[in-house]
Amino acid sequence: MPLPTLPRLGRLAGRTAIITGAGSLGDGVGTGKAIALLFASEGARVALVDLDAGRAEETRAQIADGGGEAFVVAGDVTDPASCERIVAEALTRFGSLDALINNVGLGAGAGRLEEMEWAAWTRGVALNLDSAVLMTRAAIPHLLAGAGKAVVNIASVAGIRAHGSGSYGPAKAALIHFTRELAVMYGAEGLRANVVAPGHIMTPLVEKFSAPAAREHRRRIAALSAVEGDAWDVAYATLFLASAEARFVSGVCLPVDGGVTAIGPLAAFERVTGETMTR
């Protein structure tokens, strides 16, 4: 997954950001790493948060090679005390906070409800919802004092359309609405809160577990079936929502899905099977 070649415009020059899940599982560039690299290339100073410091260190080294500024904060964003410490370390390093990107999330709690372990439900909610709530709660006072005042949460189209998942979809749906509540709760103080909802994005982790036929189905089912989305697509949408270009955008859920949430079921069926349905 090559680095994008679009020009750097300094869209986040002078701004500071915390990005959770800033490492990548496996080789290549996942969404958190792509967001971090792009933010740094646009002038942001970035706190790279990950449970695994080694993964985040790879991101930091790549940012440093490009002349950017970042540092690693290892921590568990499902733990309230850890979230407070992460924010405190970012403030000590940067002195202010302009943007919080809640990117941590993981598919958990799949399968039929009666067969799902309760621990899988709670783990899924903790990773995909609680982490964003806890990080935002810790960061809010400092975001309101900063210049950027932006929260961008990374959800999923599974929070918009049902996928038959036990906890992942419901947690992402709750994250989307939590973001709307943030936008209303703090909007009078200048805070903007928005969501990016990735669709069938191909990342190194997804590729590892995707059979070639499944990968082809994921691509073909979208309206933009000639294109396969990757982590950079999510990163550019996040960059826009965190930048001053989106100064009058708040409470928005932006699908980055190639139009998969827009296409009708019969059209999607035709895309995947090649059969023509009678409408």
Which residues are known catalytic residues? 168
One DSSP character per residue, 130-151 reads IHHHHHHHHHHHHHHHSSS-EE
Q: Are 94 and 45 in contact (CB under 8 A)?
A: yes
| Maximal CA-CA distance, the chain | 63
Measured distance CA(90)–CA(18) in Å, rounded: 7
Q: Are 164 and 117 in contact (CB under 8 A)?
A: no
Closest CA to 32 of 126, 134, 131: 131
Measured distance CA(258)–CA(32) in Å, rounded: 20
Neighbours of 247 (CB within 10 A): 12
**E-strand stretches of 28-108:** 45-50, 69-74, 99-102
Q: Which residues on adjacent β-strands are paired with residue 202?
A: 230
- In the numeric block, the tokens 């309760």 are attached to 118
